[in-house]
Structure 1
């Protein structure tokens, strides 16, 4: 078997950079510095100080590290999920900052396109929209809990986590995101005190096929074994698309 020249290996590594995860600590710092819990119009959420985030030099470092990572180097499911969840959240923030949008991400759509399909970024030379990342990459990996982790910059969205997602502890982080969402009675989970009715986040309606193929009772029962039965009526919180600003 012919040996591969060292120079060729170096060239391939330079052209197709490995996933270094160098941005983890920087992203942790951004989230810790510029995200705080707010309650506005009766909704409790993790608010982002977009103005300060945009001026923080760590944002450019994190964004550029993501954009220069070659997704082909992501080998495990955990690596892929962690990378693409972080990418979705960071690029959503980047969009708000870049467009200087003060009220709602929905204002950034076009006449015939949503904000999630209109705007693009190049990751390792390939163009992606937020829709591409969510629907073509993340959801096909078959992990329903990602809907509690990706954040669409709206107050009613499951909250932005105040740390980067990391492959080695991703399962724990996703489990915690579900718990945090369901512990938020303003937008995540609420049981009617007088009737066998619950309200859950609207994302479980929009993406119901990802939750046991729309068998929401089955998916929810392990989390609320004493509160939910087959006769429980499941309703959904109304969705406030106002920007999750602090």
Structure 2
């Protein structure tokens, strides 16, 4: 009888919202949102239109160090389903790319953060769930195997020719709309995404590097035509990729 009352009481408390079962949950991205609102603007640099991050201000802002700590302490096992996992690791990649820059400041390119014998993508970028990871691990071992090619327009490797750093965190509730928006914005940016030519289109090198993620060359052509509302597109080469930092490089 006593056990029955305990169960009923617990169920009643849960119904009242006073006790909640253990549920999957996303991290709190409030600090990330605040940092983006304060330090991210739209600018043009070296002929490229982009979202411009004030790296010296981010480095000096105590909220960024706090955000990196929160990311390290959050347990990814609390996530449920692919949407939440995509959101977490896309946001994490972008935060850790910024972290690589500020931890190795001053830089003119993220590539300057690594020693000559090691790729910057393979150096320690920070921690996720208490484990040290590289940007390479997050992108190639976690995100790409999920089979969502639009990640390539959401993750930002701190460079001018990268897709724009979004002015808000990604969230599971809005992920589809956010990814579509990133894709369309990148394709519409003729300074780094896509340029129409007499023969077809010149594309960001991202489409060359990750062609397989779009199903191969023929599938990519058809996919581009679908996105542009036009027949299958002829790929007329690729745009130069500018690895200069996508933000302020001096204090």
Q: Give the structure 2 partner of residue 235 of structure 1.
A: 237
CA shift digits 1:57-113 (9 cap, x unpaired)? 221222111111111221110100000011000011111111103200111222321
Is residue 220 of structure 1 aligned with residue 224 of structure 2?
Answer: yes
Counterpart of 1:222 in 2: which secondary structure? helix
Task: Determine the C-alpha separation between the residues in 2 that align with 1:62 and 1:236.
Answer: 36
Is residue 211 of structure 1 aligned with residue 214 of structure 2?
Answer: yes
Q: How does 1:2-13 map to 2 (within 5 A)?
A: none
Contact 1:108 1:114 (8 Å CA) reproduced: no
Q: Which of these residues, 40, 48, 52, is aligned with residue 53 of structure 2?
A: 48
CA shift digits 1:155-204 (9 cap, x unpaired)? 00011000001011111100000011011110011101xx1221111111
Structure 1: gaps (5+ residues): 1-16
Contact 1:31 1:163 (8 Å CA) reproduced: yes
Counterpart of 2:202 in 1: which secondary structure? strand
The more displaced of 177-186 and 32-41 is 32-41
Query: How many residues are matched?
Result: 226
Q: How does 1:40-189 map to 2 (within 5 A)?
A: 40-189=45-194
Higher helix share: 2
Is residue 201 of structure 1 aligned with residue 178 of structure 2?
Answer: no
Contact 2:97 2:125 (8 Å CA) reproduced: no
Task: Determine the C-alpha separation between the residues in 1 that align with 2:176 and 2:113.
Answer: 33
What is the Cα-based RMSD across aligned positions, in Å? 1.8
* TM-score normalised over the length of structure 1: 0.86
Task: Determine the C-alpha separation between the residues in 1 that align with 2:100 and 2:25.
Answer: 23
Task: Determine the C-alpha separation between the residues in 2 that align with 1:121 and 1:164.
Answer: 18
Q: In terms of Rg, which structure is larger?
A: 2
Structure 2: gaps (5+ residues): 1-22
* TM-score normalised over the length of structure 2: 0.85
Counterpart of 1:61 in 2: which secondary structure? helix
